[in-house]
Copies of this chain bind each other. A is one copy, B any other.
C-alpha cells in the first residue's frame, strides 16, 4: 500500500518497544515504503518487548545497543553497515526516560545524579549516535536524521519534570549537529514535536489521561496519533524534504499555536 517513497533507502530505528510505540509504527511504515531497516533498543528493552517479532515480520535485523554506551553504538554502526552492505540514509531516535519522574522526585527536589542519567539516556544519546555515525562515515549524502521531542522544551507542563530539560537539550543537539552534518554530508537533522501519544511509556506519566484529553481539546485537529507520526517521519526521510534542516517540527494538530480553545472553556 506504500508509494515506494523510501525505495532503496536504509536506516536505523531506535526505540521500538511494543506495537504502541511510535518507533514501531515508523518501522512498519518505512518498510512499507520500500526501506530496509535495522531495529535497535537497549538490551533490557529487547527482553520484554516484542521487537524480535517485529524484526521477523519486517525482515529487519535487531541489534541490542545501550544508547549511552559509545562501544555499543560503535558496534551498532559497524553491524548495520555490514547488514546494509554500505552506508545508510536515515536514523530515528525515539528514546526518553526520566529517573526523577520514575522515582517520584518533584521538580524542586531533584536528585542530580539521576538528572545526569536522565540527560544521558534521553538527550546525550542523540549526540552520541550522531557523533558515532559521523566518525564511522555511516550516512549517505542527503540523508535524514530525526528525533522525537515534545513541546515541554518550549513551554511549561509542570508534571513533565526534568524531561522538559531533556527535550530542550535534544533539540539543541539537533540544531548544533545539524550544522556539522549539513557541511559534511548534506545530511539534515530535525526533531518532530509530537502530540502526547498513548504509548506504554507515555501513559505511565502522572495524570496522563486528563492531560491527553486536554491536549486533544486544545488541538484543532485533535492529538496526532502514532500512526500519523509515522507518516510524517516517512515524509521527512524521503527526498521531498531535503532542504528542511535544524528545525523543530510540530506534529500536533495545531496545539503549539493555540492560545485558548473555546472547547476548554466550554464556550463551544
Contacts and interface: CB of A to CB of B under 8 A. Distances in A.
Given A108-B177, A176-B165, A156 B257 contact: yes
Interface residues of A, number: 88
What's the number of copies of this chain in the assembled complex?
A: 4
Contacts of A262: 158-159, 207
A52 interface: no
A149 interface: no
30 contacts: A108-B131, A108-B177, A108-B180, A154-B257, A154-B259, A155-B258, A155-B259, A155-B260, A156-B254, A157-B260, A158-B260, A158-B261, A165-B172, A168-B171, A175-B257, A178-B220, A179-B254, A179-B258, A186-B221, A207-B267, A220-B245, A220-B246, A221-B242, A224-B243, A225-B243, A231-B242, A232-B244, A234-B240, A235-B240, A246-B257
Given A186-B221, A221-B245, A235-B240, 8 more contacts: A115-B124, A159-B262, A164-B175, A207-B262, A225-B243, A231-B239, A245-B253, A247-B257
Nearest 10 pairs of A and B residues by beta carbon: A182-B220, A155-B259, A224-B243, A168-B172, A235-B240, A3-B3, A246-B257, A231-B240, A157-B259, A246-B254
